[in-house]
């Protein structure tokens, strides 16, 4: 999430009650999570296992629970509870804003766009021209819809990320990491009925131009889908995964988090993808592998009873 304007580090430190170390004249441009950080961003870390990853990332500012070595061009905010500090920043710069009507007065809707009865358009949503939003579609706050987009009934755009801060030394093990990111649908995207596309935790979930989705597809937080992809029914893609251009994923395939699927890959139905895949190939099975290799394996598996009989 980018702040409306750059914020002095001293203001952030005051807000979260932090001990400030580093350049006290610096300006923070936004808050982000580790998979998406950019220069000028603020990130939090509350476990020594991830200190080095955060401090050596592109993040310029780190909320941390103890003072440690850091590059002189960066800045540390030392607090007892970094996660609670993160929540305070999110609630301050993107507070919950109740809606009082089906189409928010703060939404911007382009020419010749049709919004059916019972659709809900949240606060600060932007919808382009020549779109069709069918009944019972929900587009939640801050999401961006391009031109010539079709969204079928019952779909939710911008639901919260399934993302939790986990600590087993407290009564509530899983505490919600509040989402302040967006969903961005580019031009000529079509989304089927009953789909859910989660907003980014702090960044964007992006669906590229011309991509088409069947019914009951779920896209997790911070996923980036390229151009002209095709997803069949009941595909599920976990958070922060990258799907490059022209990828085809057939029904009920499931993809792991934080992996990359290369351009032009085809994933067959009911496949389970646990690691990154090269582009330009066809994959099947669990774990998903080159389809020809997998088919040969299945042939040999079917021959096991025959081979066993011969050996005995």
pLDDT (tens digit per residue) in 220-243: 999 999 999 999 999 999 999 999
Say what the pLDDT of residue 164 is: 92
| 108-295 topology per CATH | UDP N-Acetylglucosamine Acyltransferase; domain 1 (2.160.10)
Say which CATH architecture domain 2-93 belongs to.
3-Layer(aba) Sandwich (3.40)
Say what the pLDDT of residue 36 is: 83
pLDDT exceeds 90 at position 102: yes
For 74, which DSSP code? S
pLDDT exceeds 80 at position 312: no
Say what the pLDDT of residue 21 is: 94
pLDDT (tens digit per residue) in 244-297: 999 999 999 999 999 999 999 999 999 999 999 999 999 999 999 999 999 998
Average pLDDT over residues 59-74: 91
Average pLDDT over residues 76-97: 94
Exactly one of 203, 218, 221, 224 is catalytic; name it: 221
The question of whether 221 is a catalytic residue gets the answer yes
Greatest mean pLDDT among 28-32, 171-175, 193-197, 307-311: 193-197
| Average of per-residue pLDDT values in the chain | 94
Say what the pLDDT of residue 3 is: 93
Give the C-alpha separation, 153 to 156, whole Å.
9
Model confidence at 302, in pLDDT bands (50, 70, 90)? confident
Model confidence at 305, in pLDDT bands (50, 70, 90)? confident
Model confidence at 151, in pLDDT bands (50, 70, 90)? very high
Q: Which two tokens stand for residue 252?
A: 């009920």
DSSP E strands, 160-303: 164-166, 174-176, 182-185, 190-191, 196-198, 204-207, 212-213, 218-219, 224-225, 230-231, 236-237, 242-243, 248-249, 254-255, 260-261, 266-267, 272-273, 282-284, 289-290
Say what the pLDDT of residue 108 is: 98
Say what the pLDDT of residue 130 is: 98
Say what the pLDDT of residue 93 is: 94
Say what the pLDDT of residue 304 is: 84
Give the C-alpha separation, 238 to 90, whole Å.
23
Domains in the chain: boundaries? 2-93, 108-295
* Interacting residues of 181 by C-beta distance below 8 A, sequence separation 6+: 1, 161, 199, 200, 201, 202, 203, 204, 205, 221, 222
Say what the pLDDT of residue 201 is: 94
pLDDT (tens digit per residue) in 6-39: 999 999 999 999 999 998 899 999 999 888 888 9
Average pLDDT over residues 168-196: 95
Model confidence at 168, in pLDDT bands (50, 70, 90)? confident
pLDDT exceeds 80 at position 134: yes
Average pLDDT over residues 191-206: 97
Say what the pLDDT of residue 105 is: 96
């Amino acid at each position: 999430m980018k702040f409306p304007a750059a914020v002095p580090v001293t203001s952030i430190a005051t807000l979260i009650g932090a001990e400030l170390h580093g350049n006290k004249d610096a300006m923070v441009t936004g808050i982000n999570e580790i998979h998406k950080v950019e220069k000028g961003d603020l990130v939090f870390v509350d476990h020594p296992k991830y200190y080095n990853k955060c401090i050596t990332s592109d993040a310029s500012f780190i909320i941390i629970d103890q003072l440690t070595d850091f590059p002189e061009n960066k800045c540390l905010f030392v607090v007892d509870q970094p996660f609670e500090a993160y929540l305070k920043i999110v609630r301050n710069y993107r507070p919950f804003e109740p809606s009082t009507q089906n189409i928010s007065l703060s939404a911007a809707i382009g020419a010749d766009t049709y919004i059916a009865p019972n659709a809900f358009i949240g606060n600060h949503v932007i919808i382009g021209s020549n779109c069709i939003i069918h009944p019972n579609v929900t587009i939640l706050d801050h999401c961006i819809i391009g031109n010539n987009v079709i969204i079928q009934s019952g779909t939710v755009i911008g639901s919260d990320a399934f993302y939790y801060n986990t600590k087993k030394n407290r009564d509530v093990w899983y505490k919600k990491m509040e989402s302040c990111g967006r969903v961005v649908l580019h031009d000529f995207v079509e989304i089927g009925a009953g789909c859910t596309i989660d907003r980014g935790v702090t960044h964007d979930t992006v669906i590229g131009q011309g991509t088409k989705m069947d019914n009951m597809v779920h896209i997790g937080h911070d996923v980036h889908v390229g151009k002209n992809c095709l997803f069949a029914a009941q595909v599920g893609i976990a958070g922060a995964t990258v799907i490059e251009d022209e990828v085809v994923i057939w029904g009920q395939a499931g993809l792991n988090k934080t992996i990359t699927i290369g351009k032009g890959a085809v994933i067959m139905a009911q496949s389970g993808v646990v690691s990154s895949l090269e582009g330009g190939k066809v994959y099947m099975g669990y774990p998903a592998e080159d389809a020809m290799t997998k088919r040969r394996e299945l042939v040999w598996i079917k021959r096991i009873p025959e081979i066993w009989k011969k050996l005995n």
